[in-house]
Structure 1
Amino acid sequence: MPLSPKIEKLLNKVCAPQERYDTKLLGKDISYITNELGEPVTLYIGKRREDGDIAGERYVRKIVRKPESNEILRSHWDLKGKVTRG
């Protein structure tokens, strides 16, 4: 299932490195984790439980960079399946 354009727009922003962000968008709970450059690389979408974890789907971002650079040539999000914790 492809990601919504609104979710992709949120995930194209660079944030603080190696942090977890929790938000709500399009009626779903969303958590994402950034890499050492502040780019979102792991995404959880679903329903947040009382303990803060998300039951839903997990996506992982594949990033291809220019050689010897941090510039992104292309990236895409792969659906990795259902999760009960996130």
Structure 2
Amino acid sequence: MPLHRELDKKLSKTFEPSSRIDDVFKGYDITFVTNEHGEPVTLFFGKRRPDGLIAGERYTRTIKRQPGSMEVKSSHWDLRGKIMA
């Protein structure tokens, strides 16, 4: 299942490197983890539990770069499974 176009656009931006960011998207709680370049690479999407973790779905991002540079050639998100409460 592909990500919502607006969520994919939001996650295409660069954030604080090697960090965890908690946010909300269209009424759903999201948490994403960034790599050393500040690019989101893991996404948790669903409803936040009282302990701060999310029950819902987990996605991971595959990034392909231009040869010899850090420029992103393409990327896509893969659904890795459900996260239970």
Aligned-pair Cα RMSD in Å: 1.0
State the match for 1:8 in structure 2: 8
State the match for 1:76 in structure 2: 76
Fraction of identical pairs, as percent: 54
Cα deviation 1:23-78 (Å, max 9, x = unaligned)? 11111000000000000000000000000000000000000111221111100000
TM-score (norm 1): 0.94
Q: Which amino acid aligns with 2:33?
A: I
Q: Which amino acid aligns with 1:7?
A: L
Q: Which runs of 5+ in 2 are unaligned?
A: none
